[in-house]
């Protein structure tokens, strides 16, 4: 799925837009026990309550593709004959109305998901999107549709106990000291099937994780039974290892800065262009940057081999997962220097009298803990 397709579905999750009739789910305590079962008509809820449920589900379609939103790919064998795909398909085909199928899914999630002993609310809903045609200017047209996209959306929301407060109870006409249980934004969730080329793709699902570095691989394995994708943190670590091992002592600040600048520029240009497809960079492109920095060809080949070993042959990587485009930071054992990526050229490394130094031009205004100071000659 691309960002435009995700955004198109996100806009569905408002009271006046969706075709959701019921909200399903269950409240699970820290002992993995179902405390309460949820099966409620959206139309019988107050607008405020219905909007809250839809907003929680909508959040499982938020974040960056390749970072918070991860493509889950089923094999042909799984689609043809596998328990996990049959279960997801049964949930979808029954529009979540089959209680036995729902309970089977609940149990699979509860038995596998590790929420650190916290309670959580599992929410599910089924929507049927009458897909409108697009005009020449790419605008959605209201004069008819081509297909109906039926899909399920699921999210897992931590439930935390709020701070005890003194509250008024109208029924008793009294004040009591009480603490309520508060539903937090989703920690993870998924969409099935994927909405690729504005049509159902039963070979894919879209998985959501609020924390890109914690993908809840136990959930992915139980629900999808696929090889868990590398998290953004794992991708960055693997990339840094591949670079360090290939370059060794020649992995200088100039080389790392050049890679950071090139990837930061690509991220900025992609954002400015409002391109639909996610931004990807090949190992060969990064190898070309190394070549521009004067890195030896044999080291470039070693870097490519290291990346192929970690990411697979011909892998296309997301630059946002390889660097932090928002900062340029240099760390030592006892200090760190952080500057805007636009000013990374100000930071230098030098060896003076046999000692390694990080140098930053001071300029005119120098402050220490908010106090203006002068640099004496």
The predicted-structure confidence for 168-185, as pLDDT tens digits, reads as follows 778 788 887 776 788 999
* 286: exposed, middle or buried (Cβ count in 10 Å: 0-12, 13-18, 19+): buried
Q: What is the pLDDT averaged over residues 144-173?
A: 84
pLDDT at 138: 64
> What would the two tokens of residue 45 be?
């809820």
Task: List residues bridging with 91 in a β-sheet.
Answer: none
Least confident interval from 92-101, 229-238, 296-305: 229-238
Contact 219, 84 (CB under 8 A): no
Show the tokens assigned to 300.
Answer: 């470039």
Residue linked to tokens 């699902």: 205
| pLDDT computed for residue 54 by the predictor | 95
**Residue range 88-105: mean pLDDT, rounded:** 96
Of 62, 114, 67, nearest to 234 by C-alpha is 67
Cβ pair 283, 308 in contact under 8 A: yes
Higher pLDDT, 86 or 342: 86
- Looking at the DSSP bridge assignments, the partners of residue 177 are 166
Max avg pLDDT among 16-20, 90-94, 308-312: 90-94
Would the pLDDT of 112 be above 90? yes
Mean pLDDT within 273-299: 88
Mapping DSSP to helix (H, G, I), strand (E, B) and coil, where does residue 365 land?
coil
Using alpha carbons only, what angle is made at residue 140 by residues 136 and 144, rounded to the nearest 5 degrees?
Answer: 100
State both tokens at 229: 């994708």
Q: Which residues fall within 8 angstroms of residue 194, CB to CB, at 6 or more apart?
A: 1, 71, 200, 201, 203, 204, 205, 206
- Residue 300: what pLDDT? 92
Please report the pLDDT score of residue 301 as a whole number. 93
The predicted structure's pLDDT at residue 231? 85
- Write out the two tokens for 311: 């990411």
pLDDT for the residue 136: 64
Work out the mean pLDDT of the chain and round it to a whole number: 90
Residue 289's CB: how many other CB atoms inside 10 A? 18
Q: Within 13 Å of residue 198, how many CA atoms lie on the same side as its CB?
A: 14
């Amino acid at each position: 799925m691309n960002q435009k397709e995700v955004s198109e579905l996100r806009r569905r999750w408002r009271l006046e837009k969706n075709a959701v009739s019921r909200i399903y789910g269950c409240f699970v305590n820290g002992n993995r026990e179902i405390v309460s079962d949820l099966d409620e008509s959206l139309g019988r809820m107050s607008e405020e309550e219905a909007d809250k449920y839809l907003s929680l589900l909508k959040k499982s379609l938020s974040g960056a593709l390749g970072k918070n939103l991860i493509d889950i790919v089923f094999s042909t064998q799984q689609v043809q004959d596998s328990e996990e795909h049959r279960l997801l398909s049964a949930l979808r085909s029954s529009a979540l109305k089959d209680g036995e199928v729902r309970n089977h899914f609940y149990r699979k999630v509860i038995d596998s998901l590790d929420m650190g002993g916290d309670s959580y609310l599992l929410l599910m809903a089924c929507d049927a999107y009458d897909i409108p045609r697009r005009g020449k200017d790419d605008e959605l047209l209201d004069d008819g549709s081509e297909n109906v996209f039926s899909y399920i959306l699921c999210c897992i929301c931590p439930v935390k106990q709020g701070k005890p407060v003194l509250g008024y109870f109208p029924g008793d006409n009294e004040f009591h000291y009480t603490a309520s249980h508060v539903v937090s934004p989703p920690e993870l969730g998924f969409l099935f099937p994927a909405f690729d080329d504005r049509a159902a793709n039963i070979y894919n699902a879209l998985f959501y994780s609020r924390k890109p570095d914690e993908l809840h691989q136990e959930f992915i394995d139980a629900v999808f039974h696929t090889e868990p994708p590398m998290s953004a943190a794992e991708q960055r670590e693997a990339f840094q290892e591949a670079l360090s091992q290939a370059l060794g002592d020649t992995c200088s600040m100039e080389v790392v800065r050049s890679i950071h600048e090139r990837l930061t520029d690509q991220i900025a240009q992609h954002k400015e262009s409002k391109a639909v497809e996610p931004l990807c960079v090949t190992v060969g492109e990064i190898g070309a940057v190394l070549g521009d920095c004067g890195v030896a060809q044999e080291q470039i080949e070693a870097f490519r081999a290291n990346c192929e070993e970690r990411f697979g042959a011909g892998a296309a990587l997301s630059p946002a997962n390889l660097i932090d485009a928002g900062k340029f930071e240099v760390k030592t054992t006892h200090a760190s220097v952080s500057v805007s990526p636009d000013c990374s050229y100000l930071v230098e490394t030098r060896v003076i009298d046999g000692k390694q130094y990080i140098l930053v031009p001071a300029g005119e205004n120098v402050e220490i803990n908010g106090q203006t100071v002068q640099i004496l000659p």
